[in-house]
Amino acid sequence: MHFTSSLVKPSVELRTFSIRGDERGSLIALEAGLDVPFDVKRIYYIFGTTENVARGFHAHRNLKQMLIAVSGKVRIRCELEGRIEEVWLDSPDKGLCIEGLVWREMHDFTPDCVLMVMASEHYDEADYIRVYEEFKRVQA
């Protein structure tokens, strides 16, 4: 099947989660449909990233994702609808929700960074746009 455009409106939203802390430390609970605005079908995490390596450089047609640096820091650079949005994920209580046709890049991983991602769909290579020129073309 050949898709020409995304069915999901592109958006990038930084959310702050409630920390349930007590004298023992901290706990964050995320519930699908509430804190994460979609049903989670897949979780993956990126860690042990080699120094000076950047990742991503693609868009998704329909996937919704929530990115959380549960440890360390990473800079997320997004392009959507002709504008750039940059966010540092540097605390486990921050989540970046990305939906629809958004070009995303991940830069400046700290060595201790564990980037956890919750996704609305199972892995599907056909949902990826890995060529920037194609991303610009399907946006138009």
What residues are labeled active site? 58
What is the rounded radius of gyration, in angstroms, for the C-alpha atoms of the chain? 15
Parallel, antiparallel, or unpaired: how do β-strands 11-16 and 103-107 relate?
unpaired
- Nearest approach in angstroms of CB 55 to ligand T46 is 4
Tokens of 42: 């897949």
Three-state DSSP state, 30: coil
- Nearest approach in angstroms of CB 121 to ligand T46 is 10
Q: Does 55 bind ligand T46 (CB under 6 A)?
A: yes
Using the rule CB under 6 A, which residue among 11, 117, 121, 139 binds ligand T46? Answer: 117
Q: Which positions ≥6 away from 26 have C-beta within 8 Å? A: 19, 20, 92
What number of other Cβ atoms are within 10 A of residue 119's Cβ?
20
- Nearest approach in angstroms of CB 24 to ligand T46 is 32
Binders in 12-31 for ligand T46, by CB under 6 A: none
Nearest CB to ligand T46, comparing residues 26 and 69: 69
Which range touches ligand T46 (CB under 6 A), out of 9-17, 29-37, 42-50, 87-95?
42-50
- For residue 29, give the DSSP letter: -
List contacts with ligand T46 (CB under 6 A): 42, 44, 46, 55-56, 65, 67, 104, 117, 123
